[in-house]
Structure 1
Amino acid sequence: MKALLTVNVLFWLCASYAYADHNEEVERFIIAGQTATYDCPKSDITPALDRHLANQDLAKGQKDRLSLIKSHSLICVGQYHHAQDILDTLLNDNSIDKESALYAGAVYQVGFILDVQENPKRCEYYAEAQDLARDRYSDIYLSAQLGLITVCNQDTTDISVKLGKLYALLERFVEIGDVAAIAHIHNNIGLLYGSIGQNELAAEQYLKSYYMGLEVYTTSNQLATLISAVSANMASGDFVAAKQNIEIFRQANVEVNTPLTNAWLHYAESRYYFRLEEYENLRNSLLKLHFYLPKVSSTIIHRNAKLYAIALCIYDDDASCVNAFLTQQEQMSDSEHKRFLAKRDYLWVMSQAYFYTKNIEKAEKTFKLYAKLSNQQILDQQRSGRVLGVANLHGQITSLENELLEQESQKYRSIVMLTAAFILLLAGVYFFVVKRYIRRVSTDTLTGLLNERAVITLMRRLPQAQTSRTNALAVIEIGHIRRITAKYGHIAAERALQAASVSLRKVTREEDIIGRLGNDQFVVCLRNIDESLALESFERVQNALDDTQFISKAGQQESIESQLSVYLSTEGLSDIDDVLADMRGSFTNEDA
């Protein structure tokens, strides 16, 4: 057992002698069932735990310690209200020693529950738990300390200082070799990165925590950081990574399979499909999520599940459902409403609901709030890039306080770190500003494919094909877009184009170039490919489009009508503008 937990194990072994006159079977169970604050008790202890707690002859000290294990288990499966009741009983019991590990653990657990609920009072409990555990109960002290660093004093403490403290802690526990604590710290670094909008970095930290935690954590605690990684992936717009991590979660959950982890899985899927506006998949995920919702007391999951259901109501043209939702929202208190106005998904659904009910004034007002919040988050993310390079430097400065004897060598180290920090800052500015700007201006906002300028630029740079191979190009025209717009409106036309883009993604390879040309045309470019394989690929594209349907209006589907023109060249495509002009001119205009 590593150093961090050794102190706690020795404490509990010594404490067991104080209970020598207690039930020995129960005492052995308590010692075996106790886990560090950042892990979870094993799920298979629940029947025995409940049986011992029901024993009327149990000594009070043993019952109190069993109750703390019970509240810990309940927190790990998302039953926060039940856990809170147990903890309130313990904290209000004047016979419990306020200096004991039992009391300090109960205080920390209350802080954790309030943290999950985003209640500002969490910081009071974290501070108290840290003071109670200092120099005595190392796991409680570390967890409370991490809570204070990560979520408290956000308005008064510079983020670089917080990151510096976390990296200093990480360095110390890496030297100790405490894998469980290291995984716990990586998770908190991820939380802090997420709080400043650096979601790609947050996802990296969560995944480090997940894979390290597989060595030491049990039951649902193994999956907690993986679901955080999925959320960070979606917040950064990396839906490919989000889908991959959801599938990893699904496979890992086969063994864990608790109500909480199942709720996490279907909540993550629901959020994924909501963001991509894949409403039929969203419907299926919500049905599964609602089965587990009564067993989970997470206000965030309950709130967003309701929000995604309203998005379905709009999609289903369910006016009564949408109106009931708007009425309920307008009856909220000012404080509740103000809190919700800081949520992008909420503002998006509200603007769509107002637009659906033809309340254009409120729809426009709400959408402006959504756009303002989105832009502010982008600006905050760009500003926060400058703190990333100095965080490690601050960590070294923090370490100096405990290493005065190495002052001269640390001066040199500080200079090196300062230089590295400056380089990281420049790299961060490039990565988070320039790279994101290039991605944004290269993407078609409706379909998510490359836009015309970006796709033509890529094709123009293609080199000559290898011997016996070709660069193959297909231009696809959705020939009845104007007719769809005239008959059903522009939203139906957009659905048709989106449905076509989804089909193109499904039948093309990751290395293929696909993009949107103009209003109603797409292009697929297969690089350096065998000619027969290229023709077979384009045949699959045509068949897939022939089978593609879109929602023209509520409850009614129509098929896509498309034409395809093919061009093969063993040379590069430096003359792509002329090639495209000829190919586009070959289409018959069905809308004319």
Structure 2
Amino acid sequence: MKGLLAINVFFWLCTSYAYAEHSEEVEKFIIAAQAATYDCPKSDINSALDTYLASDEIIKGQQDRLRLIKSHSLICVGQYEQARDILNGLFNDNTIDKSSALYAGAVYQLGFILDVQENPQRCDYYAQAESLARDRYSDIYLSAQLGLITVCNQKTTDISVKLGKLYSLLEKFVELDDIAAVAHIHNNIGLLYGSIGQNELAAEQYLKSYYMGLEVYATNNQLATLISAISANMASGDVVAAKQNIEIFRRANLSVNTPLTNAWLHYAESRYYFRLEDYDHLRNSLLKLHFYLPKVSSDIIHRNAKLYGVALCIYDKDTQCVEDFLAEQEALSEPQHKKFLARRDYLWVMANAYFYTNNLESAEKIFDLYTRLANKQILDQQRSGRVLGVANLHSQITSLETELEQQAVQKYRSIVILSLGFILLLAGVYFLVVKRYIKSVSSDTLTGLFNERAVIGMMRRLPQAQNGRTNALALINISNVRDVQSKHGHIAGDRALQAVTYCLHKVTREEDVVGRVGSEQFVVCLRSIDEALAREFFERIQSALNDTQFIAAVGEQVLIESQMSIYLSVEGFSDIEEVLADMRDSLSDKDESK
């Protein structure tokens, strides 16, 4: 009997020791697997994570923390619905301590998923997560705080105030040398810039976040900000930068290669080719994208993939496909349709679909909505530009106010703010006056483009291209203007030049130099660009010009006829007059050889 009791005691001690040893092993795994809210758990933990979650020997507290890590991993690969199921279980579990990092993390992750889905309830969760994490869990607190600043109270809080808060946070974490947090803040500054239509500035912030994140983020989290940069490039019309960043993404994705990052890559390509109306390449990109779509729960990617597919149907003259799409859209509820009507790509495809099916009345209505939305976005962008100059200033004022409060010198704060406001007012007036003067002496009166004097001045100041790039110059001669003038008069000739101007506006970017340097000649300069991309860009310009026509007389439309001479130089254009003379000679030789 005593022997049997001794055996039982020995067995119990061994079991307890083994259980304690296993519990310690799980604890070490949890500590190693956890990641900050703005990073991702490493992908190589998934097998062990699933094994531990399936085990019956893990205590509940460890099980809950493993579930939070699992939901974080799922969010990082775009599996939002599966992650939300796990998080709802944690959120509604009354046995979990509401003051714990586990609960605060679950609340934040639920807010993030709602944010991705553009659900207004995200702000409630962000506010709750911020309150739970304050002075306790720094990464959750920062992420929730950034979410509140970036996407909440947009109608009631001035954008300059939001930017000022973000720049204040940026300054704080730069001083702390916290690169991961700094990268996270740059990403949120990009989100805020994008929300007010300043997409070039947004792309710049996303790229800062991406390159900083290469040093500190898990591999599967590094590409999120790069895809945001590409989207911002496309939204700003900078297709050259978008193409360059897509190629960077493609190379980086070789070592990541998840369904989500592959979907991002082929989605970015599809959007790029859709904007260029390159339907053969679009077809190929969409085929690849559709392979990954079932594995990604992103409403935006699914919606736009369908949209680009319909654009392809119109190109292929697939009437049934187009009619099915229109019927599906017309069956949408009013709230759903209203949400789509705020998107330019959607309106563009809808207008073309109605036009293709000869429903001209509906096509006209949709195109009118498209025009109004485009004009509104331009006006919104101009208005938002006014706050950007004071955003960093607001950050400095915020710091100044704190210092003045500590010194109890309230009156100086008012003086400083009033003085700064007066200086800004004077600077604004001066800027407008100088800008108008410069425009009056540097613009061509007919086209509004830079005149020859302005072009030559800008070219002389052009710096040397760096990092294996080139400065690319195209001289375009419109060869049938004089024939049109002889036949139809000078007004028709002016219409031809204005049609060329409109075409060049559509296919060039804001940073390109576009000017008129002769009665029938135009220049386009691409600064510091990859040579292959420059040649591709000029080919698109030539193709667009070949398709451009104008009304020469009532009932008579004439196609633009043009020739192009290209000059590439790693150096600047200090000898621009000689370069233009040689290019004009080259165009003359082409005319004589015809």
- TM-score calculated relative to the size of structure 2: 0.73
How much does 1:394 deviate? 2.1
Instruction: Output the aligned Cα RMSD.
Output: 4.7
Distance 1:271 1:32, change over 3 A: same
* Alpha carbons 1:385, 1:428 under 8 Å: kept: no
List aligned pairs for 1:460-479, cutoff 5 A.
461=456
Distance 1:61 1:262, change over 3 A: same
How much does 1:455 deviate? 8.9
* Alpha carbons 2:449, 2:514 under 8 Å: kept: no
Distance 1:516 1:91, change over 3 A: farther
Determine the C-alpha separation between the residues in 2 that align with 1:114 and 1:566.
Answer: 53
Determine the C-alpha separation between the residues in 2 that align with 1:565 and 1:130.
Answer: 59
Determine the C-alpha separation between the residues in 1 that align with 2:170 and 2:96.
Answer: 34
Distance 1:156 1:90, change over 3 A: same
Structure 2 residue aligned with 1:73: 73
What letter matches 1:33 in structure 2? A
- Is it true that 1:366 corresponds to 2:366 in the alignment? yes
What letter matches 2:140 in structure 1? I
Determine the C-alpha separation between the residues in 2 that align with 1:427 and 1:137.
Answer: 48
Determine the C-alpha separation between the residues in 2 that align with 1:563 and 1:374.
Answer: 30
* Alpha carbons 1:74, 1:83 under 8 Å: kept: yes
Structure 1 residue aligned with 2:494: none
Structure 2: unaligned runs, 5 residues or longer? 1-18, 461-472, 481-498, 527-534, 548-558, 568-574
How much does 1:220 deviate? 2.4
Determine the C-alpha separation between the residues in 1 that align with 2:433 and 2:303.
Answer: 37
Structure 1 residue aligned with 2:496: none
What letter matches 2:188 in structure 1? N
Distance 1:254 1:51, change over 3 A: same
Aligned residues: 502
* Alpha carbons 1:310, 1:325 under 8 Å: kept: yes
How much does 1:51 deviate? 0.6
Determine the C-alpha separation between the residues in 2 that align with 1:162 and 1:511.
Answer: 31
How much does 1:408 deviate? 6.3
Determine the C-alpha separation between the residues in 2 that align with 1:295 and 1:145.
Answer: 31
How much does 1:393 deviate? 2.5
Determine the C-alpha separation between the residues in 2 that align with 1:70 and 1:358.
Answer: 52
Determine the C-alpha separation between the residues in 2 that align with 1:460 and 1:289.
Answer: 43
How much does 1:171 deviate? 1.5
How much does 1:347 deviate? 0.3
What letter matches 1:405 in structure 2? Q
CA displacement, residues 22-79 of structure 1 (integer Å, 9 cap, x when unaligned): 7111100000011110110001110010010010121111110000000000000100
* Alpha carbons 1:42, 1:218 under 8 Å: kept: yes
Percent identity of the aligned residues? 63
Determine the C-alpha separation between the residues in 1 that align with 2:398 and 2:475.
Answer: 58
How much does 1:217 deviate? 0.7
How much does 1:169 deviate? 1.2
What letter matches 2:355 in structure 1? F
Structure 2 residue aligned with 1:196: 196
- TM-score calculated relative to the size of structure 1: 0.73
Structure 2 residue aligned with 1:291: 291
How much does 1:291 deviate? 1.1
Determine the C-alpha separation between the residues in 2 that align with 1:113 and 1:165.
Answer: 24
Determine the C-alpha separation between the residues in 1 that align with 2:251 and 2:214.
Answer: 14
* Alpha carbons 1:565, 1:583 under 8 Å: kept: no
Structure 1 residue aligned with 2:101: 101
Distance 1:473 1:200, change over 3 A: closer
Determine the C-alpha separation between the residues in 1 that align with 2:101 and 2:566.
Answer: 75
List aligned pairs for 1:4-19, cutoff 5 A.
none
What letter matches 2:330 in structure 1? E
Determine the C-alpha separation between the residues in 2 that align with 1:186 and 1:581.
Answer: 48
Structure 2 residue aligned with 1:303: 303
Determine the C-alpha separation between the residues in 1 that align with 2:61 and 2:566.
Answer: 82
Distance 1:42 1:474, change over 3 A: closer
* Alpha carbons 1:386, 1:429 under 8 Å: kept: no
Structure 2 residue aligned with 1:50: 50
Report the secondary structure of 1:302's partner residue: helix
Determine the C-alpha separation between the residues in 1 that align with 2:308 and 2:566.
Answer: 44
Distance 1:257 1:152, change over 3 A: same
Determine the C-alpha separation between the residues in 1 that align with 2:317 and 2:334.
Answer: 29
How much does 1:219 deviate? 2.1
Report the secondary structure of 1:98's partner residue: coil
Determine the C-alpha separation between the residues in 2 that align with 1:158 and 1:283.
Answer: 43
- Is it true that 1:377 corresponds to 2:377 in the alignment? yes
What letter matches 2:250 in structure 1? R
Distance 1:460 1:421, change over 3 A: closer
* Alpha carbons 1:293, 1:302 under 8 Å: kept: yes
Structure 2 residue aligned with 1:392: 392
Structure 2 residue aligned with 1:276: 276
Structure 1: unaligned runs, 5 residues or longer? 1-18, 443-450, 465-470, 479-496, 528-537, 551-559
List aligned pairs for 1:319-468, cutoff 5 A.
319-400=319-400, 402-403=402-403, 404-405=405-406, 454=449, 457=452, 461=456
Structure 2 residue aligned with 1:243: 243
Structure 2 residue aligned with 1:556: none
